[in-house]
Amino acid sequence: MFEFGRDLRKLFDKARESDDLGWLELIGADLVEAEARREAIDAGRVSCARPFDSWIRASALWREHARRTGRRESLDRAAKCASDAARHTETPDQTAAAAIESGEIHLLRFDLFGGPATLTAALADAQSLTAERPATRAAAAALHARLCARRARLSGSPANLLDAAALLDAALHGAKALPPTAGDELRLDRAALALEAGVTRRDPRLLDQAGRDLRALVETASPDYRPLTRARALSLAGAGLMALAALAGSDAAKVQGQALFEAAADQFTPDHSPLDWVAVRLAQADEDTPLLPLAEAEALTREPGLILGALARERRLAAEAALAETMIDVEALTSLEAVVRRRLANAVRTEPLDWAADQIGMAHLAMAKGRLTGLPPRAVGLMLAEALETAREWGAPALVQRAVLATPEGEGLGAGG
């Protein structure tokens, strides 16, 4: 995506030694993987002068690769590097820094694959951290605040949301000791929390706060140097506008939200950060979205158990069901049902969220077939109820919402709890 001349390459080589990994946004996922391999090899050399620093850096690089691609193997490599760093600690502060890196890996694992138990374990570790340097203390506070924000969003409790917002505020206040990328992560999390709570509670103060955070991120994240941060902020702003448009029935707000999604997608190419591209496309998708981009999103998220992969599969099945119904093609619906049924038959080998996505997809297909044949679909309510419960247990609220939206009128499942 980017071409480096001789002078720029010198700056790039210098950036490799910086604590701020914001420069990674300038390179694609393949180059991030190459950098991670190089750093891990260097850290493992007997001649490595600072093995702890090298292992921590290798872990952060593998973690970034996992964040971009959703590859479980990269996340496991990050965890191994963090473990190797912990074996080379020489001070209590380094021990805390290794534990913080391990916590960041747990947080990302939850973001990618769900599993609130991972979140709970990481929180317990974060609360017991003791650090000496101001930067390490600030990093521990940031990790703790971000973990609490995720747990609060899962609970939906107003009190938990307010407590988590206060922790994010405090962590941001101390973020001056951290690299700019860490501050940006905190602002994105605070904006997401405020946006969700603001829409749910119709609270203009929280919506204004989210808007200020996102505006600041968009203004400071240059498309030439921080394209992914800029895209994430634009996409979150677009999601907020779309939610408000749905509440107010405003076509103008919906158009503005779509424009923000388009702007986010224009910041990078799919190979630069596959998961960011899929997240934007899925957030942008509605019931009229063509099948091709949904199939592309599914192809980029094949890792078993990936939340975005489950969402992409469910959206693609919904689109295929709608297309077959429009074409009055009962045979196509029957063939799709057979494919999904074969996958469901292998439930022992299927990740829970993939199973839940197939259950919702099967419900889409059964209802479309029922409308075409006049025969009432069987067990649709049970399919959706089981999918909803599984998605809720695994901490995937977006998939919970898809199950609720798929439910026929008069069979409300409820999305709370």
Give the residue ranges of the chain where pLDDT is below 50: 1-5, 7-8, 11-12, 415-417
The candidate with the shortest Cα–Cα distance to 28, out of 56, 2, 54, 66, is 2
The pLDDT of residue 8:
43
The 8 Å CB, 24+ separation contacts for 207-212 are 207/240, 207/244, 210/240, 211/237, 211/240
SS3 content of the chain, % helix, strand, coil (to 5): 75, 0, 25
| CA angle, 185 then 189 then 191, to 5° | 115
- Write the pLDDT tens digit of every residue in 73-109: 999 999 999 999 999 999 999 999 999 999 999 999 9
Angle between helices 158-173 and 180-201 (to 10 degrees): 160
| CA neighbours closer than 13 Å in the CB half-sphere of residue 248 | 13
pLDDT digits (tens, 9 = 90+) for 262-296: 999 999 999 999 999 999 999 988 777 889 999 99
Give the per-residue pLDDT at 412.
56
Range list of β-strands (E), 127-220: none
Q: What is the pTM of this model?
A: 0.92
- Nearest alpha carbon to residue 309 among 72, 136, 47: 72
pLDDT in tens, 192-219: 999 988 888 888 888 888 999 999 999 9
Per the CB < 8 A criterion, the answer to whether 344 and 362 are in contact is: yes
CA torsion 323→325→331→333, rounded to 10°? Answer: 70
Tell me the CA distances in angstroms from 107 to 33, 148, 185, one per residue in order: 20, 10, 12
Q: Kindly report the backbone phi and psi dihedral angles of residue 223, in degrees, each rounded to the nearest multiple of 5, phi listed first.
A: -65, -20
